Amino acid sequence: MAQPTMKMVAERAGVSTALVSLVMRGAPNVSDHRRARVLAAADELGYRPNVLARNLASRRTNTIGVVLNDFHNPFFAEVADNIQAAADRIGYRLLYGNGKHSVDGEAEAVETFLQFRVDGIILVGSMDAASMEQAAKSAAVVVVGRSEHGQRVDTANTDDRVGANLAIDHLVALGHRRIAHVDGGDGAGASDRAGGYRDAMHRHGLGGHILIAAGDYTEEGGQAAAVQLLAASPRPTAVFASNDLSAIGTLDAFTTAGLRVPDDVSLVGFDNTAMTAMSYVSLTTVNQPTDELGQAAVDLLIRRLDAETAPAEHFVGSPILVVRTSTAPPPAEAT
Amino acid sequence: MAQPTMKMVAERAGVSTALVSLVMRGAPNVSDHRRARVLAAADELGYRPNVLARNLASRRTNTIGVVLNDFHNPFFAEVADNIQAAADRIGYRLLYGNGKHSVDGEAEAVETFLQFRVDGIILVGSMDAASMEQAAKSAAVVVVGRSEHGQRVDTANTDDRVGANLAIDHLVALGHRRIAHVDGGDGAGASDRAGGYRDAMHRHGLGGHILIAAGDYTEEGGQAAAVQLLAASPRPTAVFASNDLSAIGTLDAFTTAGLRVPDDVSLVGFDNTAMTAMSYVSLTTVNQPTDELGQAAVDLLIRRLDAETAPAEHFVGSPILVVRTSTAPPPAEAT
DNA sequence: CTGAAAGCGCTAACAC
DNA sequence: GTGTTAGCGCTTTCAG
């Protein structure tokens, strides 16, 4: 499908391609008369600038590549929408890559963006710290949701340790002692949440009750972890899941096993995704400021674009505990 | 961040850029000796082909743009993953665009891909038939999830009318007569699902009980629609929601209002997204063959790439009713 | 099997 | 204000 070129537009308007170029980019120093002629010619031809050629010549793409670790995670979708809003405000174009919930998928997506020579890359929920450091050698990179980083990688994330502490404090205040954790494996922020869980347990003198089941930020992972937890004796009276998806899987396994939440066991999630507000879920969870994260990610990236060597900056947002009805005091019989 | 170029690789390897080009593309007619030298030089320099330049010269991008109507809809995420799998199998690169759940957002995403001169575009859940027809003038386009189409637009979708009929037949068989529908506005396939609902109601002699509340394929839309339905007198004993997201919103509103599902009111969704299988949701819903849709979308697009003028083709997958526990006979008092 | 040369469509100085 | 002239980095005939 042959597309009209700038040259064709120039001929039709009876001007040079340079002038067309100026008009297309909205340059100020063009006579109204010719501007109109060019615009008319472009319109008649259905001309559409070839971004590839434009960028080859100008060495900028005006495009940011956003790699989403997992399209299925509603939290990432929410972050994506907030990044999009921030980018829209400053006229930056966004292209997305599918991390396929794997380090390999993420690396592939990054490589694609690098080959497309995007101006910068935002990694949402990156699972692999090494590859992002690698990517940062060839482009501006900012990571959302993970605090580990290298020299040149800016980050925007919620204070996961504090978030985890909020969750555990809440459960302890309700009277729980046997509080287990479904972790998030190598998911973004997972190690901080697990670390926060451990710290809080120790702080409350509950170090002996630390119990962690392996999850992976997915519903299936949460289900599997919950099944393990169900087998523990004595059974935990509360579970802090590393994210909402895990919490939802955990809730499913508990319900299937005939346990009532919160009567038999309390449950706390992380992310405050839309689903958790539904009345039949009503999950107590930790809210992340996705609007701030999205805005910060774009801000950091733009700043780095013209300050390549500046030291890495880190935005840290504040978590808030959202108490719903999945948490209650432990059952009386559980000493 | 200056990147190494093919020229630099050529110099370092002591060959011409043409030879480097051949090696990078894995051409067969290159001596092992030189191939090794080139590869080594490229590796030492950390050379990465510039896709922009490559595509400018070769007029192909080996890239497909996928526009997702809504990042929040898990059904679209599932379709995206299946498209990705199909594309991975044939070595095609995928870039995603965010339709922002709006016709404008969708149009913007399409325009971006057109400017990037991608080989083809797959629209997932497109809300606007006109703009996709427009896009088809400049690129190969296939639409997933919507049966309306134009001359040159291939489509891949589930038979939504049949799916709707499956849902209604199931409810009627259980004894329901006052069956309402939460529609999907201008969402992909929504009009077919609503049409199927109407047809089925008439077929069962229930034309007088047709009742449709406006939704938009989101949880919020489902909640609002359910609130309306709650006010109807007599109240419907069953609701067929146009998709799972709407059904989840509907379920929330019902639960909040103190109604039990399925005891007081039955509920059926559409899409069979992961969430619906959770035990505390356990939604009866209509499954769509996402693997077939993803594969078909890619197949159709590839085929069109070298058969521009061939008549449009349409893949239609079969829906299957998945019966869970959100449906039951109507309460006895409801005559 | 390898190199030279001519672009792909556009931007960016630099003249006029 | 507007045109000319070089490329941007790569592919692609076409010779040899």
Whether A306 contacts chain B with CB within 8 A: no
pLDDT per residue as tens digits for the range B22-49: 999 888 888 889 999 999 999 999 999 9
Contact in structure between A250 and A225 (CB atoms under 8 Å): yes
pLDDT per residue as tens digits for the range B271-312: 999 999 999 999 999 999 999 999 999 999 999 988 878 899
Nearest CA distance, B233 vs chain A (angstrom): 24
Q: What is the 3-state secondary structure (H, E, C) of chain B?
A: CCCCCHHHHHHHHCCCHHHHHHHHCCCCCCCHHHHHHHHHHHHHHCCCCCHHHHHHHHCCCCEEEEEECCCCCHHHHHHHHHHHHHHHHCCCEEEEEECCCCHHHHHHHHHHHHHCCCCEEEEECCCCHHHHHHHCCCCEEEEECCCCCCCCCEEEEECHHHHHHHHHHHHHHCCCCCEEEECCCCCCCHHHHHHHHHHHHHHCCCHHHCEEECCCCCHHHHHHHHHHHHHCCCCCCEEEECCHHHHHHHHHHHHHCCCCCCCCCEEECCECCHHHHCCCCCCEEEECCHHHHHHHHHHHHHHHHCCCCCCCCEEEECCEEECCCCCCCCCCCCC
pLDDT per residue as tens digits for the range B80-110: 999 999 999 999 999 999 999 999 999 999 9
CB contact under 8 A, A56 and B51: no
Residue A77 confidence (pLDDT) above 90? yes
The nucleotide closest to B54 (CA, C1' atoms): D10
Terminal alpha carbon distance of chain B: 74
CA B35, C1' C3: Å apart?
A: 15
Query: What mean pLDDT do residues B60-67 have?
Result: 94
CA B56, C1' C14: Å apart?
A: 26
Pick from B244, B226, B162, B248: nearest CA to B197: B162
Contact in structure between B24 and B30 (CB atoms under 8 Å): no
> What's the rounded Cα separation, in Å, for the pair B59 and B302?
16
What residue is closest to C2 (Cα–C1')?
Answer: B19
pLDDT per residue as tens digits for the range B158-190: 999 999 999 999 999 999 999 999 999 999 999
- For residue B285, what are the contacts with CB-CB under 8 A and spacing of at least 6? B244, B247, B268, B269, B270, B271, B272, B273, B276, B321, B322, B324
Q: How far is CA B135 from CA B120, B138, B153, B233, in A?
A: 10, 6, 9, 46
Pick from B280, B276, B324: nearest CA to A255: B280
> What's the rounded Cα separation, in Å, for the pair B140 and B133?
10
Q: How would residue B137 be classed by pLDDT, with cut points 50, 70 and 90?
A: confident
CA A6, C1' D8: Å apart?
A: 17
Provide the chain B residues 164-203 that lie in CB contact (below 8 A) with chain A.
none
Residue A221 identity: G
- What's the Rg (C-alpha) of chain A? 25
Whether A102 contacts chain B with CB within 8 A: no
Residue A265: DSSP 8-state: -
Q: How would residue B323 be classed by pLDDT, with cut points 50, 70 and 90?
A: very high
Residue B32 identity: D
Query: What mean pLDDT do residues A112-118 have?
Result: 94
Chain A positions touching B49 (Cβ under 8 A) are: 115
Q: Is A280 exposed, middle or buried (0-12, 13-18, 19+ CB in 10 A)?
A: middle
- Each as own residue / partner, the long-range contacts of residues B58-61 (CB below 8 Å, 24 or more positions apart, any chain) are B60/B119, B61/A52, B61/B93, B61/B116, B61/B117, B61/B118, B61/B119
Residue A156 confidence (pLDDT) above 70? yes
Chain A positions touching B77 (Cβ under 8 A) are: 71-72, 77
Measured in whole angstroms, the distance separating CA B1 from the mean position of its chain's CA atoms is 37
pLDDT per residue as tens digits for the range A186-207: 999 999 999 999 999 999 999 9
pLDDT score at A335: 58
The nucleotide closest to A4 (CA, C1' atoms): C9
Both tokens of residue A97? 């890559």
CB contact under 8 A, B248 and A275: yes
The nucleotide closest to B47 (CA, C1' atoms): D9
Closest alpha carbon within chain B to A308? B1
What domains does chain A contain, in order, with CATH numbers? Answer: 6-49 (1.10.260.40), 61-158+289-317 (3.40.50.2300), 160-288+321-334 (3.40.50.2300)
**CA dihedral sign of residues B246, B248, B252, B254:** positive
pLDDT score at B1: 67
pLDDT score at B148: 75
pLDDT score at A68: 98
Both tokens of residue B102? 């709006």
> What's the rounded Cα separation, in Å, for the pair B204 and B221?
28
Chain B positions touching A84 (Cβ under 8 A) are: 98, 100
pLDDT per residue as tens digits for the range B207-263: 999 999 999 999 999 999 999 999 999 999 999 999 999 999 999 999 999 999 999
Q: How would residue A334 be classed by pLDDT, with cut points 50, 70 and 90?
A: low
pLDDT score at A245: 98
Contact in structure between B214 and B187 (CB atoms under 8 Å): no
